[in-house]
Amino acid sequence: MQENYVLTDNPLDLNKIRSTLIRLEETIIFGLIERAQFSHNPRIYERGAFEELTKLGFTGSWLEWFLKETETFHAKARRYTSPDEYPFTPIDALPKPIIPPLQYKPILYQNTVNVNPSILSFYTRSIVPRISRQATLALAASRRAQGITGDGEYEDDGNYGSAATIDVEVLQAISKRVHYGKFVSESKFQENPAAFIPHIQNPNPTALDKLITKPAVEKALLERLRKKARTYGQDLGPDGEPIIPKDGEGGPMKIDVEGVRELYESYIIPLTKEVEVDYLLQRLNGLTPEEIEELKNRPAKTK
Ligand SMILES: O=C(O)C(=O)C[C@]1(C(=O)O)C=C[C@@H](O)C=C1
């Protein structure tokens, strides 16, 4: 059974946090494989593209409407009371939970870090067009064969509900992954507060970024990710064996493998680091000089 990480005994154990990050790779890759079945459908990301929504008084895009409706329901089930869950819809626009929140041990320091607007922006502008390209090209070929022409025809397959449902799932998984940076950061801070404090007091994001960056971990992650995307994205024939074309080259893939790697390299890792640094910059807010002094004098933990 998947354990609820924030309820475990030692939630700041960096190995445990990293195993959750690794587990989320599967969720994200499988979500992207699902999304790759459908064309780009750019209309669903444009504000005001559906007059039906405008008539309902909703001014956002079709996807933002899906997010709001889904998150409204999840908020009632107390999803956003968990320290690892962040809605894309502003929290004030969501209902209160109908059951009392679970009692979480206070693990994170109070903070206002939420990078969901950046996630929504890079996902809709860079990831969806790339991940859906194969489906868009296949649709174009089939429509051309039927004599249907016109640019828009190729990227719009009309599966607005299916595409947006998957987009919501992928966005939630990416958001959880990126905001886990707060736990990573708290863990690193607790390990050696004295190393971080001068760069928080005299705010130096570059120095903090250097302290939290682990190149070997990033390198291993990107290698693993390419292998996972290649393995999970294989198309298997009815006999369960990989489909190998006659020319002996690799068979068809359900996903753009390099696209998945680049998603992590260009967006997910940098944003996780941004969360880590922004969280650290708020880490001493509200502490007294004595409390800061006490933290500074705490000996670094050895691993
Ligand atoms: O595992 C860590 O130490 C992290 O900070 C997470 C992460 C990542 O996003 O995967 C980010 C920065 C580090 O350079 C390595 C990996």
Encode pLDDT of 104-142 as tens digits. Answer: 888 999 999 999 999 999 999 999 999 998 877 877 777
Q: What is the mean pLDDT of residues 210-220?
A: 98
> Can you tell me which atom of ligand 1 is nearest the CA of 276?
5
pLDDT at residue 148 in the model: 76
Residue 7 is assigned to a structural domain of this protein: no
State how far the Cα of 43 lies from the Cα of 56, in Å rounded to an integer.
18
Angle at 114 between CA 35 and CA 286, to 5 degrees: 160
Residue 81 is assigned to a structural domain of this protein: yes
Residue nearest to atom 4 of ligand 1 (CA): 184
CB atoms < 10 A from the CB of 202, how many?
8
- Provide the 8-state DSSP code for 234: B
Chain centroid offset of residue 160 CA: 21
pLDDT at residue 250 in the model: 63
State how far the Cα of 109 lies from the Cα of 118, in Å rounded to an integer.
22
| Most distant CA atoms of the chain, gap in Å | 76
pLDDT at residue 246 in the model: 65
Judged against a pLDDT cut of 80, whether residue 270 lies above it is answered with yes
Q: How far is the CA of 286 from the centre of ligand 1 (A)?
A: 27
> Can you tell me which atom of ligand 1 is nearest the CA of 212?
5
Q: How far is the CA of 173 from the centre of ligand 1 (A)?
A: 17
Residue nearest to atom 12 of ligand 1 (CA): 213
89: nearest Cα among 171, 6, 21, 160? 171
pLDDT, one tens digit per residue, over 41-88 is 999 999 999 999 999 999 999 999 999 999 999 999 999 999 999 999
Residue 201 is assigned to a structural domain of this protein: yes
Residue 303 is assigned to a structural domain of this protein: no
Residue 1 is assigned to a structural domain of this protein: no
CATH (domain of 130): 1.10.590.10
Q: Range of 166's domain? A: 14-297
Q: What is the mean pLDDT of residues 204-223?
A: 98
Tell me how many domains the chain contains.
1
**Which is more confident, 145 or 83?**
83
Residue 8 is assigned to a structural domain of this protein: no
Chain centroid offset of residue 38 CA: 20
Question: Phi and psi dihedrals of 38, rounded to 5?
Answer: -110, 155
pLDDT at residue 264 in the model: 97
pLDDT at residue 154 in the model: 72
Judged against a pLDDT cut of 50, whether residue 1 lies above it is answered with no
Residues lining ligand 1, judged by CB closer than 6 Å?
A: 18, 21, 184, 212-214, 217-218, 221, 269, 272-273, 276
Judged against a pLDDT cut of 70, whether residue 179 lies above it is answered with yes
Residue 146 is assigned to a structural domain of this protein: yes
- Provide the 8-state DSSP code for 127: I
**Residue 101 in tokens:** 């929140």
Residue 116 is assigned to a structural domain of this protein: yes
Question: pTM above 0.90?
Answer: yes
Q: Which residues pair with 236 in a beta bridge?
A: 242
pLDDT at residue 93 in the model: 96
